[in-house]
Amino acid sequence: MVRLLGGGDPHWLSPLHLSDKCRALGALARHAFAHGPQCEPEPAVLLIAAAARRHGVAESLALAVARTESALDAHAISRTGAMGLMQLMPGTAAWLEVGDAFDPVQNTEGGARYLAQLLRRYRGDRSRALAAYNLGPARVPARGQLRLPSETRAYVQRVLTPLSAASW
């Protein structure tokens, strides 16, 4: 019952984040109508790497975020309504001026730009920047003790684990 009412982990049928879910589904429908099913974007890895370079983010970090967020599915929609490869929330996509969050080029550009902004905000602290990417920057302090929900701690660990062996 709690889950149905929006408590705990948001379920697709939960009213929690309902407006974001509706906006994401509407955006996906507009994208599919405009581009049709034959739309084949450039390989996601190349798009993410290029966007990361343009915004001064390590390619491996941006790619790890996209793999963790969407498994490189350009049409992914999360339970909370996040969209595309880099899983941008509708409000964040609008703020980043991403007109079509399901367009891989726009999504990766917006996601890399957002990640770069978070890394600057948190003075290169990858854990805080990633926590803010997942949880929202208003909920992650720039300094002091970092108290995160278990879901966000697990997210940060999932992103950083493949990077531990990579040099960046």
Domain boundaries, the chain: 18-163
Spatial neighbors of 26 by CB under 8 A, at least 6 apart, are: none
Q: Measuring CA to CA, how many Å separate 160 from each of 65, 104, 146, 157, 164? A: 9, 23, 16, 5, 6
15 or 12, higher pLDDT: 15
Residue 163: band (very low, low, confident or very high) from pLDDT cuts 50, 70, 90: confident
Q: What is the CATH code for 18-163?
A: 1.10.530.10
Length of the chain (residues): 168
97 is catalytic: no
Helix (H/G/I), strand (E/B), else coil: 83: strand
- d(CA 81, CA 95) in angstroms, rounded, equals 15
Catalytic residue from among 40, 42, 59, 69: 69
- d(CA 19, CA 87) in angstroms, rounded, equals 16
Q: pLDDT tens for residues 62-81?
A: 999 999 999 999 999 999 99
Spatial neighbors of 110 by CB under 8 A, at least 6 apart, are: 86, 88, 92, 93, 96, 97, 98, 101
